[in-house]
Structures are given as C-alpha cells and as structure tokens.
Amino acid sequence: MATADDTLNDWLRDAHAMEQQALTMLKGQESRLESYPDLRGRISQHIGETERHADMVRKCLERRNTDTSSLKDAGAKLTALGQSLSGIFVSDEVMKGSLASYTFEHMEIASYKMLIEAADYVGDGETKSVCEAILRDEEAMAAWLADQAGEVTRTFLQREARASSAAKR
C-alpha cells in the first residue's frame, strides 16, 4: 500500500507530465495564431510560465529525492501533439484551441489544488508553497481566457463572414 508521501510523489510526476503536455499544446497553438495577436501574446507569456512550472515541479521532486517520469512526460507530449495536429484540419481551429486551453487550465487548477492538500497533509510546506504559486498562474490564465472568449469568438465570426462574402464574389 502506498504512503501519502508516495502518492504525493506520483501526483507531482503527473503534474510534471501535465506541464509538458501543456507546453506542447501551447507551442502548437502559438505558431498558428498570427491573426489573433492578443491571444498569441498571452499564449506566449503562458508558455514561459509553463516552462517555469515544469521546472518548479521537477525541483520539488528532486528535493523529495525522486524524479520525473520519462514515460509519463513522453505520453503527455504525444497526446498534446495529436491534439495540436488535429486542429490543423478544422476551419475553426482558434475556437477549438481556445476551448481546449480553457478546459486544460481547469484540469491544472484542480490538480494543483489536490497537490496543495496532499503536500499539506504530509507536512511538505515547500511543495505546498510551490503549488500555490503555480495555481495562481493557472487561475490567472483561465480567467484571461474566459474574459477573452467573447472577443475571440466575435473576431473569428467576423473573419468567417468576410471570407464567406469574398468567396461569393
């Protein structure tokens, strides 16, 4: 039977893989958002945050005398690559990407809330503080995406209407 410390380590490895998945997904989106400069800029900023998050989680694992899971990291990256590539084949890629990003942020939020509780339970205040800091970034990104959803939708629909009317000429 696993101890609470073992479980926390497993969840931290999952979080590291989740951050690797987010990086692959975000980089795939960023490269195709030239028509949405605000969204692209915020995605670029979040890529930097996500790289920092992965490093922070890795350091927690090292401090806890364990390491990341290469298998989990590779699986997460492969999943994200598939998600990213699937967006190329749909005309509303920006909308599907925004939806995926918003959903993914909430998965990260839930994961870090669980990690905070687990770290607190085992008495690992440093890991708890790290996860609280990451949680704030994830909540900020989710809130930004929610605030921008209307604008991204309107911009997409306006572009579609212009393209449709140009095609009819």
Task: Give the CATH number, domain containing residue 16.
Answer: 1.20.1260.10
| pTM, entire model | 0.85
Residue 37's domain comprises 4-168
65 in helix, strand or coil? coil
pLDDT of residue 168: 59
Compute the distance between CA of residue 56 and CA of residue 141 in angstroms, rounded to an integer. 18
**pLDDT tens series, the chain, 169 aa:** 679 999 999 999 999 999 999 998 899 889 888 889 999 999 999 999 999 999 999 999 999 999 865 544 454 445 544 555 444 555 788 898 899 899 999 999 999 999 999 999 999 999 999 999 999 999 999 999 999 999 999 999 998 888 776 665 5
- The tokens for 162 are 């212009």
Compute the distance between CA of residue 14 and CA of residue 30 in angstroms, rounded to an integer. 24
As for how many domains the chain has, the answer is 1
pLDDT of residue 76: 47
